[in-house]
Structures are given as C-alpha cells and as structure tokens.
Structure 1
Amino acid sequence: MEEYRKLLLTVSYRIIGEMADAEDVVQETYIEWEKHKDEDILNRKAFLTRIAVNKSINLAKSARKTREEYYGPWIPEPLSEELEAQLERKERVNYAMMVVFESLEPKDRAVFLLKDVFGYSHQEIADLLDISVLNSRQVLTRAKRIIAKSELQLEREPGANKSMIAFFVKSIEDGNIAPFIEMLTSEATMQIDGGKRRQAPLRVIHTPLRIGAFLRGVTEHEFFGDSRELQVIDEQICMLIKKDGKLVRIIFLGLNVDGDKVQSVFVVTNPDKLKNF
C-alpha cells in the first residue's frame, strides 16, 4: 500500500486543492482497501487510484460550493517544502495551473490530470471513472479549452517568470510601482486571498488602472513588509513578504502566453494558508 501513497496523495491534492483533505482521502482509501485486500485483485494500483480519484471528485464538488461562500477570493494553499516532498515528483504542476484548475469541474480536472499530467490512457481513465473512452476524450477537450481561456503561461519549469517577479521586487524597493504596472496586460487581474483573518478586497481586482491604484494605496500600510525574498514554491518562483521576520504573504505572478506581460497576480495572505511555512 505504501508504495502507492505518493501517487494517491498527489492525484487527490491536485483534484481537491487542499492537502489536509487529500490526506483524508488517502486514509479513507486505505480503509476501503482493508475491506477488499483479501480479494483476488489483479491491479492494486488501478483499484486504489479508482477509489482515491472518485472520492476526491466527490469532495471537490462539496468544496467548490464551500468556496463559493468563502470570504473574498479563494486561491489554493501554497505547499511548504515539507508538504511538497510528500508528492509524486514525476508530475510537475505550477501554482498558476493550480489556480486555473479551480475553473474546471472536478471530473474535468481529474481527466486532465490523469491524461496530461500522469500519462494515463483514455481507456484507463474510462475504467477509473466509469465513463466511455469517447466521453473521456470529450472531457479532456473541454478542459483544455477552458484552460486555454485563462491566457496564462502554464510552463511546468520553475523559474519561468523569475525576471518578471525580480522586476516587481525592484519596483517595490525603488519606491516606484509604475514600471511594474506597465508590465500588466490590459486584461490583468489580481486576486488576494485573506479569508476572514486578513483585510483584503472581497472581489477580484481588474485592469492595470485598478491594480495600480490598489498597490499604491497599500504601499504606505506595510503591504510589502520590511523584507522580501524569492523562492520556488509549487514549481514556480514567487515573492515571500515578511514583517519582523514573520511571513505575512506570498505573491505569485501568472504571465501571459507570450511570457512578456503579467496576466494575473495571486496573493496569499490568509494566515491559515501560511501556517506550514
């Protein structure tokens, strides 16, 4: 069983988006396995994956409804190095992709992950999800179409936007945000996840004009802390902002497809999502 733990945890986490829930799914999968372990199961990996994937889809459906009632924008919890070490290293999904996954229905997310990330065949996916091969293909096409609409560069290599976020840091330390604002696309957005524990806008901020106004407004209120450093988290370079040595927020940038402009700014400031760092 333990030989499949990383696979099960990774699939579950990528579908649900929260590590604690993914760990619960794996534990429930183990319990289900105990009921059937004496049966003549030819493919234990497929059996376990089937249970974990379907439990994850069901949990993601309920989580989706909860997130609709979340206080302000909800974006995924970044993974600390310790938590990330528990995942399957063969797959590489960056933080921007995790945010985009939220726009997919749970089943669509599962099909995309299994096919494009984990390399399952459409026949294997059909068997896991009790759907036809044709349906699996149709779901994947739909998922890819929605992902493409994000207009984000979703490379799975860390450091893809290193120069852009370093430019952001320089703009902050120079005391002049204007150069960074000029690097935003005309359709740029900014999402700040503060939950109920940190003051933050309750809606997504749209356009460079409004993003610039917000950033200029919070500069005087220690939004950028007293120290900043770059680090790779969730396969993506990001900015860690600290105040008196304590992490207060993490900022990720989502670049446009050409990689020369910023399409999205993702800010995690909810203490509950920073507690593992």
Structure 2
Amino acid sequence: MASGRPVHAVTGDEAFGEHRNLLFSVAYRVLGSAADAEDAVQDTWVKWSAADRSQVADPKAYLVRIVTNLALDRLRAAKARRETYVGPWLPEPILTDAAEDAAAEESVSLALLVLLEALSPLERAVFVLREAFAFTYGEIAEAVDRSEETVRQAAHRARNHVRARRPRFHVNRARQREVTETFFAAATGGDINTLMTLLAPDVTLWTDGGGKVRQAMRPVVGADAVARWVAATGTRPYQGILPAEMTVELTDLNGAPGLVFSGDGRVIATLTLDLDENGRVVTLHNVANPDKLHAVATRTVHRLGSRR
C-alpha cells in the first residue's frame, strides 16, 4: 500500500558523494600518489556526469570501474617518468585516521606501496581490488575489462611477489609509536649509541628528494651508516632551516605513527619507520620532495577502510 510520502530517488551527485572516499582509496593504492588519485577521482566525476545513469544498475561498481581504468592509464604513463626519476622514488605520504583497522593500515603502508611498484599496472590494480577491498574475481574482471582467468593469474603473481617480500607479522601500534619517539629524540640529539640499539643490522634508509632538495641519491644500508647519516642530519641545517627552528609532529602517516617536519611556514619532510619482529627499525622512508608533501600540508585526513 502506498504511504502517500514521496520516494527519494538518489541523484547522481549523491551516488558519487557516497562512494567518493572509496574511489580515492582505490586510486591512491593503485597510483601511490595522492595528487594523481585526486585527479583520477575528478576525471571519474566528469565521466559519471556525462553517462546515461538510467542504464546503471550498480553505481558503486560502475564508478569503481571508471576510476580503476583511469588510474591504470595514469599508472602506465607514470611508469616511464619514474624510470628517470632523480634518486629513489617513494610514494606520496598521506595523513590517515588512527582508528582504522589493521588491514586498512597495512594496505596503505609505504612499505607495501613500494612493493607494489614492481608489479605490472594490471597486477597492481587486481591486487588492490582483491586484497584491499575484497572484490570478487568476477567483479574485478568486469572492472578491468579482462577475463576472470586473466585476473586470477594476475592476482596469483601479485600475491606471490608481495608475500615473498612482506613481513608476516603485525607491529603493535604502541610499540611503533614508542620506537618512533625514541628514534626522533636520539636523532635530534646526535645520539648514535641509542640509534644503534634501535636499528636492525641490515636496516635501509630510503630518501626521496626528487632532485628538488638534497637527499641521499642511493639507499643508505647498514646500522652504522644509517645511524651516522641520521645523527648528522639531526644536528645541522636542513633545507636552510636550523634544527631549533623546526617543528616536528608525531602523527598518523599511511596507517602508522610517523613524523612530519615543518619549518619556515611549510612542511619540509616526512619520516616513517618499519619495524621487524623484534621491534627494531628495518626500513626508513624519508620523503622530502616538495611536490609530494601537498597532501600532508593540507592537513587532510583520509579514511581508507579496506573491506567492503
């Protein structure tokens, strides 16, 4: 029986707004760049606005298909640029919500995004949609316009690559925060002895200046070399800013506690630490390329829930 009340039909604007966060989350994981992900989301809106939505039975699936293919196009173009990048290339860091679950945190960590760089664009998109968002193989096949068998093979290759290189343990958040705080105190004090106790013997430091600011052009490897590099940078001017003139904030970066360095009215770098099963630092990711710090500088916190 009719109630006499008008039925509210979901508009195109409302459907897009409802799924916008999901679209960014997919695009960011595929691209490793917040700026490119935002562009992909905006291009998705343009295509969505022009589409005959009366023929769209599932707006969410339709939108995910658009943004995935746009992200794939951008990733293919970016692959060539990254081959000629000055120094190590690291993903663009973002501020995240500390309330996210462990799966969401891991799926957006800089360590994982770096691993995904070695995959083909198709493998990366399939891995993201399957592992981070739990889409079925059939749904992914439709999204990337491939056969289900091709998608299953791509997922298998991607999982094997990641599992062979990713630690099989979850670091306690409290421990991560404690080590990050202790590391920063030792670094700013030039305390090499304390730094050595925090670092794993085979620790690696990756720094990304993109040729825009002075950074290590190759990975710094080994506890002694990393400790000395960190201690030196913690006691001398950085980008013309004295340590005493910097502000450092401990905040949530890519799903884990990290450090944001600011000075002269701008964000100048971020630093995140990856720990091994013994709670020692095994990898450091230091991003200082100004082009990659806009997402952090805008103070936008991204919610990146990983399961549907």
- Normalised by the length of structure 1, the TM-score is 0.84
Structure with the larger RCO, 1 or 2 (CA within 8 Å, 6+ apart): 2
Runs of at least 5 residues in structure 2 that lack an aligned partner in the other structure: 1-15, 98-102, 298-308
> Which range moves more in the overlay, 210-219 or 139-148?
210-219
Which residue does the alignment assign to 1:98?
113
Distance 1:112 1:33 in 2: 25
1:110 and 2:129 matched: no
Q: Counterparts of 2:174 and 2:265 in 1: how far apart (Å)?
A: 25
Q: 2:284 aligned with 1:269, yes or no?
A: no
Aligned to 1:241: 261
The answer to whether residue 188 in structure 2 is matched with residue 168 in structure 1 is no
How far off its partner does 1:15 sit? 0.7
The 2-side partners of 1:157 and 1:94 are apart by 14
Amino acid at match of 1:114: L
Superposed CA deviations along residues 86-130 of structure 1, whole A, max 9, x for unmatched, are xxxx94423332333223222222112111111111121122123
- Identity over aligned pairs, percent: 28
Aligned residues: 271
**Using a 3 Å threshold, how does the CA distance of structure 1 residues 146 and 181 change in structure 2: closer, same or farther?**
farther
User: Is the alpha carbon distance of 1:23 and 1:228 closer, same or farther for their aligned partners in structure 2, counting shifts above 3 Å?
Assistant: closer
**Aligned counterpart, 1:87:** none
Q: 1:185 to 1:153 in 2, by over 3 A?
A: farther
* Cα drift, residue 78 of structure 1: 1.6
In structure 2, what residue type is equivalent to 1:22?
Answer: A
CA deviations over 1:9-62 (Å, ceiling 9, x no partner): 221121112222222222222332344325522222222211210111121111
Give 2:243's aligned amino acid: G
The equivalent residue for 1:47 is: 62
SS for the counterpart of 2:67 is helix
For the 8 Å contact 1:184–1:262, the answer to whether it is kept is: yes
2:270 maps to which of 246, 250, 256: 250
Q: Name the CA shift for 1:247/1:44 in 2 (closer, same or farther; >3 Å).
A: closer
**Does the residue aligned with 2:283 lie in a helix, a strand or coil?**
strand
Shift in CA distance, 153/196, structure 1 to aligned 2, threshold 3 Å? farther
Greater radius of gyration (CA): 2
- Three-state SS of the structure 2 residue aligned to 1:254 is strand
Cα distance in 2, alignment partners of residues 41 and 246 from structure 1 = 44
SS of corresponding position for 2:190: coil
CA RMSD, Structure 1 to Structure 2 (Å):
2.9
Unpaired runs of 5+ in structure 1?
85-89
